[in-house]
Structure formats: C-alpha cells, structure tokens
Structure 1
Amino acid sequence: MFEFQNLEVYKKAKKFHLESKKLLRLIPLDKIERDQLYRASFSIVLNIAEGSGRLSKKDRRNFFVISRASVFECASIFDVLHDSNEINQDTFDSFLKKADELSRILYSMIKNLEN
C-alpha cells in the first residue's frame, strides 16, 4: 500500500470522485460538462497522490494547491448545474458540503507546508 492511500483527504477525494462519476451516469449532460466534471474530480485525487510522492515541501505544496483548485472547479460546475436545473438543491448541497470539507483539509495541508 502506498502512503497516500492512508491519508484521510485522499480517501475523501476518492469518494468525491466516485460519487461524481455516479452522478454523471444518472443525469444527462453534454459532453463538455461531463468531461470537465470527470477530469476535475479525478484531478483532486491524482494531485493528492502525486504530491504525496514529492520529496520537497515546495513540490508537495504545489500539487496540493492544484488539487484544491480542482475542488473549486468542481464546486463551480455543480453551481452551474444547479442553476440550470440539472441537479436539485439536495444534490447541490451535498456535493458542495463535501467540496468545502476537501478544500478546508487541503488548505490546512498547504499552510503546514509553507516555508
């Protein structure tokens, strides 16, 4: 087992991605929306894993910053999907709550790696 697989943030990010994938199977979206949400949610997971493998604090921090930016990207996608009535309020609130939690955890990790 790799060290990153034990990180709580990785487990939460992976669950967020899998739930996003499940949602993509349930609602009709155009190709661009589908692709963007898939890639953004997967980017969260992948950048946590890649950052965990970096040796310097600066390198790790950069990957966690990218991962957090992908969380923001997902939040904006869910916001647009909600405004266009492609997801309901409960689904929107659920995904936004999970995104907020990921963002907060990643922010703490980023702050801990400063200088």
Structure 2
Amino acid sequence: MNYKGYKDLDCYIKARELRIFIAELAKKIPAHEKFLLIPQIIDCSRSITRNIAEGYGRYTYSDTRNFFIISRGSTTETMEQLTTAFDEKYITEEDLKTGESKCELVFKLINGYIAYLDKSKKQAVQPSNPITNS
C-alpha cells in the first residue's frame, strides 16, 4: 500500500520528531513525577500528531481545521510543560531551547496548513442552486 496521506505533511513529520524528542527528554524527569509531569508532557506531545492524523481524516474543511487548531494548542501545551521541566531543574537550558525551537516550528507549520485549508475552502467551487440560478 502506497498511501501515506497525513504522514507526508510537513507539520506531521516535524510533530513526530518533536514527540520522539519529548519521549527521550521525559526519561530525564525524576520518577516522583511519574504521575504528574511525565504523563502530561508525553500526552500533550502525542496529542499533536493524533489530532493532525484525525483532522486529516475528517470530511469537511471545518472539521479538519478544528483538529489542526487542537493540535496547535497541544503544541503550546507541550512548550509549557518543557518550561515547567526546566523551572524545576529536570532538564537543561539547552534541552529547553531545543524543545522550544521544535515546538515553534511545528506551530508555524500547523498555522501554514490551517491557512492552506482556509484558502482551499474559499477557492472551492460552490454548487449552484437551481432555484436561485434560473
């Protein structure tokens, strides 16, 4: 099977790289955070790729757009979890900067895809109404 769909999107590719980075970084966080920060930072980074995939599979522009907006919010949440990990001295400043840079890129790429959806919707051919176009 050759179908890739959402896996070919730049925003998905970079979000996946971010998710993998976060999973590795989470290993540095102490075990006493195993029910708090660790699952939160992992889940919000996973939410980015999950919502891109689900949004891509939706039928309407607005459904797709909404899921990409949710993934954008999850990107911001991931950035905040990185800040928390840094503030609590669990990760280095270099880890924080790398993570923030990855988050910012994903955020921009998601915004770009949302703009593409908005433009595509405006350019879509609207079916004519036989009642008003007589």
* Counterpart pick for 2:80 among 37, 62, 76: 76
Name the one with the larger helix percent.
Answer: 1
Max Rg structure: 2
The TM-score, its normalising length taken from structure 1, stands at 0.93
Q: Decide which of 99, 105, 117 is 1:101's aligned counterpart.
A: 105
Q: 1:88 aligns with which of 86, 92, 104?
A: 92
Runs of 5+ unmatched residues, structure 1: none
Correspondence for 2:38: 34
Runs of 4+ in 1 over 3 A off after TM superposition: none
CA RMSD, aligned part only?
1.3
What is the percentage of aligned positions where both structures have the same residue?
29
Match of 1:46 among 17, 27, 50: 50
What TM-score do you get using the length of structure 2 for normalisation? Answer: 0.80
Deviation string for 1:52-96 (max 9, x for gaps)? 111211011000000000000000011111111111110000000
* C-alpha distance in structure 1 between counterparts of 2:22 and 2:67, whole Å: 21
Number of positions where the alignment pairs a residue of Structure 1 with one of Structure 2: 115
